[in-house]
Structure 1
């Protein structure tokens, strides 16, 4: 690609169909800013965004993830987490050169409409985003982040949003008395959200046992993370003690794994929480499941609950302290695989959708 401005369009119905498109520079509306995206992460979480991109009522208002950066009649633009720098500005409160962390399209540039501008950042007020969860619409000034350290820069977009989700799941488990479970089964234990959850659970003195479920090929890697009390391959779930009260947190949404756990533990399974759908192409027909109904975990809803209870500053302080406790561990968990340009971005997306991304690396794109 010779054009420095590009984006990746994705078919909303067939997420494997994606292509690079040129993006011309447009006139910047009054009050808007343009950002040049500096670095973003590509993880299995982004596949979940693509799978749930179409309006499915996921946000309770007939909107999906595609609605953040594309109109309904246009191809999908996948949301990603990363850093950007303001390249043009028609907003006096957000000058050129301001560095931001937040939610962007898989592209080289994006136009945002800042509102509620403060020393910490702003909320994007693009009309189609106004009824979407506010946590996705908030952009934070890098120099105002209390837990940002330059040495963690590349790990931020890889781990920070997924660590937040894992931390919120751990908070819900504790809030619910762990659903009376004596052990937490974490399916897709090598995933970054699972790693965040396991680390957060480790901080509790009174926690249940934490058991990582993973593929046979990932057992050694998950064991060496040192975050789980035990690691069990999927094909050995049937050898576990089925009488132990358990709760499952399913990061990948593979119905066959869910069926093996549900049907093995039955009534001893006290809760079954689904977090993601990175196994988007797995056969959903797993038959009747024993045990409890599966429930979807929605991180924005949990965060909004805690912000309401703790206040924005209290929430931020708790999250910052938790992240700093994890950040030192991140470089020991995986290596950064940094790729540059539009072609590399498309290849990274294709690789992740195909389930070929290496769990031992953090894939980041420099547009």
Structure 2
């Protein structure tokens, strides 16, 4: 094993300040494992993690996404979703060579603290992580994933967490009788979370609300051809929508200008306004004095916990698996995988996503 490995540090106060660093390999404590990241995805979701790296009230306490992998005095380490292989183990129930899907730092290697190890995987029990949402602390053995297919491997880190978020939003709409809306407007419709939402709503039997994907003019035709949404329009066509038809807005990017246009056009006929992420991290929030409903945040871990309590973990997993496998049958025609290798490529991928220059038709997979 190399005496050092690369990692990427991000300034907690300025997420544009980022450095590729070398880390020394230190001995494991009892209960710890060292893993080598095999692959992880870089998506707009990761930029949302960076934006909310510092405490922002998301978790109901004074913690943020930086707290998963670094202590407060250290630079931020961005969480990513991916696969890793155990290279060293001082934990019962975990062997060298075991492979897990889960939440890792943007780095070549990671040290995790193992708890509740079993046939399905384990939970990380690092003290600062135990007060963070449990969905982020679960590591699943690849062999135990009921809906894993080898052919879908590269799409798991690219789509799985984002599809799950979209599926959970769709579930909330159905649970809330669609808030009385006859049309659901989905901003940043080319994003992977939006695609997951559009796909999940379209799986519902009629009658259901019409889904309207909102995107830039350059993306309209290609996005419409995918058949994910009932209709796709550009942002400058929002005012052509029928304001007499009750609507709901799902904003994937936190772009205040788009939100203001929708609220102003529909007024009190906008029945819900849900903000999911903040990938447009530098866009003006512009939320003051909006007509229509108060904007509400959507937090996927909270919704997951509710549904697990409602249905039980097995039933929740089965519902996700059925929808995921149906989505995996169409995912390759929606997005191609763009693999990047090594630390320099990982740094460049982060900067590319942060700048908003990443191609939405490609899923970036980093191979450390």
Runs of 4+ that moved beyond 4 A: none
Cα displacement (A) at 1:285: 3.2
Does 2:60 align with 1:60?
yes
- Which residue matches 1:305? 306
Q: Deviations over 1:269-308 (max 9, x none)?
A: 0000000000110122355211000000000000000011
Structure 1 residue 294 corresponds to structure 2 residue 274: no
Paired residues of 2:92 and 2:117 also in contact (CA < 8 A): no
Q: Which residue of 2 aligns with 1:230?
A: 231
Give the root-mean-square deviation of aligned CA atoms: 1.1
Looking at structure 2, the residues matched to 225 and 159 of structure 1 have their Cα atoms a distance apart, in angstroms, of 16
The two structures have a TM-score, normalised by structure 2, of 0.98
CA distance in structure 2 between the partners assigned to 1:53 and 1:176 by the alignment: 30
Counterparts of 1:351 and 1:192, CA distance in 2: 16
Aligned to 1:348: 349
Q: Is the 8 A contact 1:4 1:108 kept in 2?
A: no
Q: Equivalent residue of 1:338, what SS?
A: strand
Q: How does 1:171-182 map to 2 (within 5 A)?
A: 171-182=171-182
1:5 is aligned to 2:2: no
Instruction: Find out whether 1:71 has 2:66 as its counterpart.
Output: no
The 2-side partners of 1:309 and 1:115 are apart by 25
Return the alpha-carbon distance in structure 2 between the equivalents of residues 287 and 233 of structure 1: 24
Contact 1:41-1:81 within 8 A present in 2 as well: yes
Q: Which residue of 1 aligns with 2:203?
A: 203
Write the distance in 1 (CA, Å) between the matches of 2:22 and 2:3: 7
Task: Confirm or deny: 8 A CA contact 2:182 2:209 kept in the other structure.
Answer: yes
- Report what 1:36 is aligned to: 36
Residues matched between the structures, number:
366
Equivalence for 1:129:
129
C-alpha distance in 2, partners of 1:241/1:314? 39
> Could you list the runs of 5+ residues in structure 1 that have no partner in the other structure?
none
Pairing 1:278–2:276 present: no
What TM-score, normalized to structure 1?
0.98
Kept after mapping to 1: 8 A contact 2:254/2:285: no
In 2, Cα distance between equivalents of 1:16 and 1:3: 29
> How do 1:26-175 residues align onto structure 2 when only pairs under 5 Å count?
26-175=26-175
